[in-house]
Amino acid sequence: MPFNHLSRRGFIASAAATALTVPARVHAQNTMQMRVSFDDQKAIYSLIDNPTTRDLIFMLPIDLTIEDFSTNEKIVHLPRRLDEGGYAPFDDETPGDLCYFLGWGNLALFHDDYTFRNDLIRLGRLEGPVTPLLHKGEYPARIEMIG
C-alpha cells in the first residue's frame, strides 16, 4: 500500500512539474526571432513554431535576394522547397505577416493587406512597423536567427 501511495504522489508531482514547464516551452517558442537584412533595412520577425518554420531555420543563416512583388509584399526565393507540415488555415491576415507561399516555394513578407487562399503557411509576424518592407527595389538579403 505505501508503494502505491508513493507512486501516485510521484506521478502527481511529475505531472505538476510537466504542466509547469509547458508554458516555459511555449514562451521560448514565441520568442524565436529571425532578422531579414537588406540594403540599409532590417525586419525582425517573431517566429511561430511549426514544421515549416523549423525547416526554414535549418537553412539559416543564408544570403538570398529580396524583391518587390505585387503591391503588398516582398518575396524571397528559397534554394529549395520547405516542409509543408506547418499548414493550417487562418483568417486573421495582417500586414507584417511572414508566410511561405506553397505555389512557388518562396517567402512572402507582407507589408499591406492580403487574403489567405489556402496557399500560405504562416511562419511569423513582424515586430514593429512595416516601414523596412516599403523600401522599394531588389537587393541582396541576409536571413538569420537572432537572440
pTM above 0.85, yes or no: no
Give me 77's grid cell: 526565393
Assign 140 a pLDDT band (cuts: 50, 70, 90). very high
* C-beta of residue 98 within 8 angstroms of C-beta of residue 90: no
Picking from 57, 54, 34, 59, the residue whose alpha carbon sits closest to that of residue 44 is: 34
- Compute how many other C-beta atoms are within 10 angstroms of the C-beta atom of residue 100: 26
Mean pLDDT of 121-143: 98
Look at residue 20 in the predicted model and tell me its pLDDT. 38
The model's pLDDT over 65-74, given as tens digits with 9 standing for 90+, comes to 999 999 999 9
